[in-house]
Amino acid sequence: MTARRGLTLAAHSRRFSLFFSHNLFGIFNSCLPLDSIPMILNNAVNPNTIFANNEMSLQDIEIYGFDYDYTLAFYSSHLHTLIFNIARNILIEEHRYPEGLKEYDYIPNFVIRGLHYDVQKALLMKIDAFHYIQLGTVYRYVGKRFWQLLGTKCMQTQARVPCESSPCPSSHGHTMKQFMDIFSLPEMTLLSCVNDYFMKHNIDYEPVHLYKDVKEAIGDVHVKGILYRAVEADIEKYICYGEQTHAVLRKLSENGKKMFLITNSPFDFVDRGMNYIVGKDWRDLFDVVIVQADKPGFFNDRRKPFRRVTDNGVLLWDRIHKLEKGKIYKQGNLYEFLRLTGWRGSKVLYFGDHIYSDLADLTLKHGWRTGAIIPELRKEIKIMNTEEYIHTMTWLQGLTGLVERMQVYRDPDSQAVVQEWIKEREEIRSQTKGFFNSQFGSLFRTYHNPTYFSRRLSRFADIYMASLSCLLDYDLRHTFFPRRNPLQHESPFWPEQGGLSAVGIPAQARRTFSSINN
């Protein structure tokens, strides 16, 4: 029976291969009328949706906490250019780096958040949830002078990075740094530019020194207040107007919710930004305001007491016995915050954009609920809602199903067809990366697996969304439920899931497939 079926497949293989033409749109447009394209086209995801990793009811939340940068305040792309330029000049003027670095400008969309950097080898890479490097995403240079390990001896198969946390030492003695902050996009770009310059001019250098110098220069942009002064001087250029942020805060306040702000930014910077986003009365909305908190140390270090800051920025020396509304506090620690407020456990929901610095410790050690603000989410959802992306992914899933089912046929003709499908599948997988970012693809996926970033997000955030404005679409008694996706060993409970029809293979193709199998 197996031999007969193999011969049958061989006899049909060329017809089958021609039917599944390499022209993606030809398949769908010639085989299906536009009104019959896969059902998924009619199920576009709303970019303003709040997504749940863990079941959570807003009815149980009494206190809402917020980070400031990229949570309450969103910045324009000009800010990344500003950070890059200032840090590049610091390298030249204070660290004696070559003047030629001035020929480099910030490259928008070169990198994405969540990438790992091998400090000793000066390699920027994307790693999935199982610590495998995504092929074609290992870079040292920028622009047209990128350097990929794809095709070299060590990367003919996926390489695994034994990395449990970030930064972390690997078994090979390398140190891996993961960039989780949106502010790190200019840092990664600057690292790549300096590497590019040194390699292009045959300058012998120590990658570890380069990494430390760039990190210090980026840090100085913040620590020395250069960034804060520049933004305050031209706030309309750098901060996106936040009318919806104001609406969210007002909605929570009108429903009797307590609110607090814990940020690493200084008060003058926050005050200037919040005046622009919310209005001069912004402090009336918050029960507690804490600046220069030094997160994530704020969540773990019991030693730093709170200190009062006057409206003029003067630090007072009196001991803090309670945290009062309308007053500003600096530093402190979460243990003292809990003692003074009594705000403990799952009745507190804290929002932040940095999965480690803002959310991890609150989830693991303190039992607060957490919400991740992921600005990149809105753009990626809009891409995934396009017909081109849906067609491509449908065909990719179809090819994967075909390869999986037809690989049992071992005759040469059948294997030749399967190998063609495998080759086409790899080409399409490479193509899908470019939908999001030409170098690194999606923030959330490495082909079929979640990224390392995505796995951390699911571990430390109860809910996640593109911006706080998403809360405006939900009643404050709403319960968020995570989707029940079947595990690999579970049988799904809905029709045709996992079969060819479930991934949108046209009906005519399914009939052809059925004739081959019978």
Active site residue 67: yes
Secondary structure of 27-95 in the HEC alphabet?
HHHHHCCHHHCCHHHHCCCCCCCCEECCCEEHHHCCEEEECCECCCEEECCHHHHHHHHHHHHHHHHHC
Q: Say whether 294 counts as a known binding-site residue.
A: no
- Among the listed residues 67, 128, 287, 358, the single catalytic one is 67
Q: Are strands 239-240 and 116-118 parallel, antiparallel or unpaired?
A: unpaired
CA gap 227, 233 in Å, rounded? 10
Q: Say whether 69 counts as a known binding-site residue.
A: yes
Kindly state the tokens that stand for 23: 């022209």
CA gap 331, 342 in Å, rounded? 18
Residue 160 Rama label (left phi>0; alpha psi -120 to 50; beta): beta
Bridge partners for 176 per DSSP: 118, 168
Active site residue 35: no
Q: Are strands 74-75 and 239-240 parallel, antiparallel or unpaired?
A: antiparallel
Residue 444: which of 28, 45, 40 has the closest Cα? 45
- Among the listed residues 69, 118, 128, 287, the single catalytic one is 69
CA gap 30, 280 in Å, rounded? 60
Give the SS3 label for residue 170.
Answer: coil
Secondary structure of 108-157 in the HEC alphabet?
CCCCCCCCEEECCCCEEEEEECCCEEEEEEEECCCHHHCCCCCCCHHHCC
Q: Say whether 196 counts as a known binding-site residue.
A: no
> Are 439 and 114 a contacting pair, CB within 8 Å?
no
Binding residue numbers for Mg(2+): 67, 353
Residues with catalytic roles: 67, 69
Point out the annotated binding site for GMP: 69
